[in-house]
Amino acid sequence: MRRLILQVQTTADGYMSGPNGEMDWLTFPWTDDISTYITDLTQSVGCIVLGRKLAEGFIPHWASRPAGESQEAVDWMNDTPKVVISDSLAESPWENAVVAGGDLVETIAKLKAQPGGDMIVYGGGTLVSSLIAADLIDDLHLFVNPTAIGSGMPVFPGGAYQRLRLVDARPFECGIAMLHFEPKR
């Protein structure tokens, strides 16, 4: 069965974005050590899972082949099949992406049962919170940026009680620290 991996950027105080969706706290540029970690993390991945709001910016951004990104990263982002979780879209307006909606637990169970590599979730915030609250994530890779913002959209929504087991923790030269957890089930 495929695993559902979460890779998310977070502030030191646990937010994915500021109160109005701000992301100006992200640490850039990345250093080679974090880029290598992410390349290794995505080796088993055969599908990218996105929420609709994130997909609206994410897919066109990578399709534009942004300058400053490695050709390998651009190709991987464009060539990897995507599933957009949405109840408002009937079909995908993007190449190499399908839409899945309905009950989130059922949808993810069907995706996990399909053949292929693991799935990685990059967001958006509402989808990430819903997946965590429903205990659907198999591996959590939290990239903790060295900034606290005080309020915003939390990675772990209220009421999403989970016991986690720390698998790995490592600092990167750019100042980001990675915490890899697995849920204790």
pLDDT-derived band at 185, boundaries 50, 70, 90: confident
The torsion of the CA quartet 31, 54, 40, 3, rounded to 10 degrees, works out to 150
- Summarize pLDDT for 79-91 with one digit per residue, the tens: 999 999 999 998 9
pTM of full prediction above 0.85: yes
Q: Count of domains in the chain? A: 1
pLDDT-derived band at 115, boundaries 50, 70, 90: very high
User: Domain limits at 35?
Assistant: 4-183
Q: Which of 33, 25, 14 is nearest to 174 (CA)?
A: 33
Average pLDDT over residues 149-163: 88
Q: Which of 29, 43, 47, 63 is nearest to 174 (CA)?
A: 29
